[in-house]
Amino acid sequence: MAQHTTLAGRVALVTGGNRGIGAGISRVLAQQGCAVAINYRADQASAEKTRVGIETAGGQARIYACDIGAAYAPVRDMVDRIAADFGKLDILVSNAGVNIPAMSTAEMDLDQMRQVMDANFYGALYSVKAATPHLRRAGRGDAVFISSISAIKLPALRMPYGASKGALEALAITYSKEEVRHGIRANIIRPGLIETEMGEKVVQRRGLKNLEEAYRIAPYGRLCQPEDIGRAVAFLCSDAASYMTGTTLTVDGGGLDWLPPVAKT
Ligand code: NDP
């Protein structure tokens, strides 16, 4: 694999970096010269696989288990351990996230609502709070928050996910303004449909059998890959984006209008 060194010498934490979009982000950052700390919650096998793939390609990676939405202290301990292991931490990619089955607000399962907020919002808050002292020390620090086009589309029956991503974006924009004076850039990426386990559930809710069926009707003859998001992250962390903060990049191939509408439950 060709090694580019746009991000040579930098150290990145990718939450949920073991599989799906996070694994694509981890691989692209490693290709561009970052040492990568791969966080995962439960799936150690995929974390090991992503780590081995990076190392086989000549990159540097380690894996770190932590449920980032459960409480602040374990996240802080993990972040401090990463900085000690690699000597610093200067990029945080807040990617970990969950979704739940469609349900109306009137019939909301409140425990599931909390689970979504814990993973998608509090996990990001704990991560960025713990990472900030390290990012400030780095001279240039970058925080990239993986949101979703759902944050602005706010589809019916998806309130927990939309609310969690809206709150995540409020956190990211506010944080970007607070940290300008400390040399930190904070930006948002809004993916559309990406080819991952979560992406497969999205197409099934819209009446397609699987992702293969989606391929036949997708824009540009393909589905968006985790690496497409990885390249957007790498750009935002690079010198090419050194004057960008508090901004949002949408990576969705022009929207999801090519998919059938969400089926009613
Ligand atoms: P997947 O379901 O494929 O993977 C989810 C990832 O998040 C896993 O790595 C998982 O770890 C991790 N994770 C979930 N909860 C926690 C937690 N509490 N602590 C630590 N890690 C956690 O999702 P995607 O890769 O598709 O999604 C990644 C991000 O992109 C999410 O924020 C999602 O909302 C967003 N997104 C995805 C889209 C898509 O179409 N796929 C579209 C728009 C946005 P583990 O494997 O250990 O459980």
CB-ligand 1 contact for 158 (6 Å cutoff): no
CB-ligand 1 contact for 42 (6 Å cutoff): yes
d(CA 175, CA 88) in angstroms, rounded, equals 21
Q: Domain map of the chain by residue range?
A: 11-250
> Residues 176, 93, 2, 88: is their CA dihedral positive or negative?
positive
Fold annotation for 11-250: Rossmann fold (3.40.50)
Classify burial at 34, counting beta carbons within 10 Å of its beta carbon; exposed 0-12, middle 13-18, buried 19 or more. buried
Asked if 31 contacts 57 with a C-beta cutoff of 8 angstroms, the reply is yes
Which pLDDT value is given to residue 205?
86
First to last CA, the chain: 45
Helix ranges (DSSP H) in 109-242: 110-117, 123-137, 150-153, 159-179, 197-205, 211-215, 226-237
Other beta carbons less than 10 A from residue 111's beta carbon: 7
Q: Whose CA is nearest to atom 32 of ligand 1?
A: 97
Q: Whose CA is nearest to atom 34 of ligand 1?
A: 97
Ligand 1 centroid – CA 54 distance (Å): 19
CB-ligand 1 contact for 164 (6 Å cutoff): no
- 191-206 pLDDT tens trace: 999 999 999 998 998 8
State which amino acid sits at residue 233. V
pLDDT band at 263 (very low <50, low <70, confident <90, very high): low
- 39-94 pLDDT tens trace: 999 999 999 999 999 999 999 999 999 999 999 999 999 999 999 999 999 999 99
Q: In Å, how far are 28, 34, 105 from 237, measured between CA atoms?
A: 12, 11, 37
Which pLDDT value is given to residue 138?
92
Please say if the pLDDT value at position 3 is more than 80: no
Which pLDDT value is given to residue 261?
82
d(CA 84, CA 74) in angstroms, rounded, equals 15
Q: Which tokens in the block code for residue 19?
A: 């599989």
pTM across the whole model: 0.97
Ligand 1 centroid – CA 21 distance (Å): 7
CB-ligand 1 contact for 41 (6 Å cutoff): yes
pLDDT band at 232 (very low <50, low <70, confident <90, very high): very high
Ligand 1 centroid – CA 20 distance (Å): 7
Active site amino acids: 161
